[in-house]
A and B are shown apart, each in its own frame.
Chain A
Amino acid sequence: DGGITQSPKYLFRKEGQNVTLSCEQNLNHDAMYWYRQDPGQGLRLIYYSQIVNDFQKGDIAEGYSVSREKKESFPLTVTSAQKNPTAFYLCASSYGGLETQYFGPGTRLLVL
């Protein structure tokens, strides 16, 4: 099956801990994105990458880091500097314009 996978579905973070959210796609899409969604809110862009080994900050990059070493993978690390990390994290990929952007199933991050 072609698609975007995100793991885990639920993730718990302790105070002061870094956690990494996985995003993998086998759609051969060039661009990948990370969004954050808080309850009752729209999506906000954290980071995006148009090509391997290159990525740009979105609107709320502080406290997050990413890497893009492979076309298929775009992991997001939520660092201890992110003081309010509880949210629904969505990864997306696209092969052309933004109308081709597809979302993964999401990871829900909770703080213990």
Chain B
Amino acid sequence: QKEVEQNSGPLSVPEGAIASLNCTYSDRGSQSFFWYRQYSGKSPELIMFIYSNGDKEDGRFTAQLNKASQYVSLLIRDSQPSDSATYLCAVSKGTGANSKLTFGKGITLSVRP
């Protein structure tokens, strides 16, 4: 089982719809969970991070974490064509100076105008 798994894509949604991106992880000791957006040919940029079970909202983005199910998701409301990108899920393990990120393969989202 891979450490961080994301749905195979691509995912296509119409403009204005809710896009739901899912991620599972294998290490129950994982502590923090991150969602990055990466446009083609560019470097990743952090959208959201979450530490605690439940939901965390920031504008049109909501991250959801369920540690019991080892599941983290990202919801994008009112999807826009500019949201079309690859979304990477990442999980941290270790503490302090030894904490490191493990990334999933990413899922490509296409928002249709």
Contact = CB atoms under 8 A, between A and B. Distances in A.
Nearest to A44: B103
A75 to B, nearest CB: 18
Interface in A28-68: 31, 40-45, 48, 50, 56, 58-59
Nearest to A41: B105
A42 B100 CA distance: 14
Contact of B105 (A40, A48, A58, A98): A40
Contacts of A97: 32, 99
Contact of A50 (B45, B88, B92, B97): B97
Counting chain B residues whose Cβ lies within 8 A of the other chain, the interface size class is 20 to 34
A45 B101 contact: yes
A59 B93 CA distance: 13
Interface residues of A, number: 21
A106 B102 CA distance: 18
The listed residue with most B CB atoms (<10 A of its CB), out of A43, A44, A97, A99, is A43
Contacts of B97: 31, 50
B69 interface: no
- Secondary structure of the B contact surface, majority rule: strand
B32 A98 contact: yes
A40 B4 CA distance: 14
Interface string B82-106: 0000001010100001111111111
Interface centre among B44, B98, B102 (most CB of A within 10 A): B44
A43 B103 contact: yes
Contact of B42 (A41, A45, A105): A105
B17 interface: no
Contacts of B105: 40-42
Contacts of A109: none
Interface in A98-112: 98-99, 101, 103-106
Interface of A: 31, 40-45, 48, 50, 56, 58-59, 90, 97-99, 101, 103-106
